[in-house]
Structure formats: structure tokens, C-alpha cells
């Protein structure tokens, strides 16, 4: 699902909680109203600030920066299975490298300040 589809689902759920008097009464659909809202408040639906990047990663998305040189690189959340032999392993961010390997990843200052993040399909 795209960020816009997720937001529309939340919008639709929240809107249905209101009684009929508060519902939209004109001939336009709920989706039309949502698209007006989305387009007026979110000119670009991709996560651009690092807070949004972390939220997207926590929600299962893979994200990459347009400025990265390697093809196929992205960051994701690695969540290890809980093991009785190694219960101390906690979730962490991992980077898929251009070579296809996965390594633990810590963002640098340029990554935190960057505004060229995109969702990888």
C-alpha cells in the first residue's frame, strides 16, 4: 500500500465515526474530499523528513534516498525472532547494499537532514 492509500483508509475510518449530520452531504464522494485534502496539504506523499522515514520503516516500508549511488539499496527494519538462547537481540535498521548484502545501518547527519527519501516497492 502506498502512503496515500494508508492515509485514505484512516480518513475513511475516522469519517465513518461521525453521525449522519456531520457527514459530507454534497454529491462528491468521500474519496473526492480526501483527494482535495491530500493534494492541498501533502504536495508530495513520500516521506521527506527523517521522522516520517522512521514511521514508514516501523510500518514495514523499505526506504531509500534518491542521492544514494548504488542500485537496489534501501533501509528496512530487521526484527529478529525471540530466541531463548539469545533474548538480548533487539530490532535494528539494516541496509541492503548494492551487492545485495544486508548490514546494520546507522544514519549519518546527511541522512537525517536529507529530504530525498522515497518508498521502495
Q: Give pLDDT, residue 36.
A: 67
Q: Degrees (nearest 5) of the Cα angle 93, 96, 97?
A: 130
Specify the pLDDT at position 21. Answer: 43
28-70 pLDDT, tens digit each: 676 776 666 655 544 445 566 788 888 888 888 899 998 888 8
Among residues 47, 22, 48, 24, which one has the least CA distance to residue 35?
24
Q: For the whole model, what pTM was predicted?
A: 0.58
Any idea what DSSP says for residue 118?
E
User: At residue 17, does pLDDT exceed 60?
Assistant: no
pLDDT in tens, 78-118: 988 766 677 777 889 999 999 999 999 999 999 999 888 88
Residue among 91, 15, 30, 23 nearest 57 (CA): 91
**Contact between residue 30 and residue 12 where contact means Cβ atoms under 8 Å apart:** yes
Which element (helix H / strand E) includes 103? Answer: strand 102-104
pLDDT at residue number 60? 87
Amino acid at each position: 500500500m502506498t502512503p496515500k492509500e494508508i492515509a485514505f483508509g484512516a480518513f475513511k475510518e475516522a469519517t465513518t465515526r461521525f453521525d449522519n449530520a456531520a457527514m459530507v452531504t454534497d454529491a462528491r464522494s468521500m474519496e473526492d474530499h480526501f483527494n482535495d485534502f491530500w493534494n492541498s496539504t501533502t504536495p508530495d506523499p513520500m516521506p521527506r523528513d527523517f521522522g516520517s522515514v522512521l514511521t514508514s520503516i516501523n510500518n514495514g516500508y523499505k526506504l531509500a534516498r534518491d542521492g544514494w549511488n548504488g542500485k537496489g539499496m534501501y533501509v528496512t527494519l530487521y526484527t529478529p525472532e525471540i530466541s531463548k538462547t539469545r533474548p538480548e537481540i533487539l530490532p535494528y535498521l539494516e541496509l541492503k547494499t548494492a551487492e545485495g548484502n544486508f548490514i546494520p545501518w546507522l544514519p549519518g547527519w546527511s541522512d537525517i537532514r536529507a529530504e530525498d527519501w522515497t518508498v521502495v516497492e
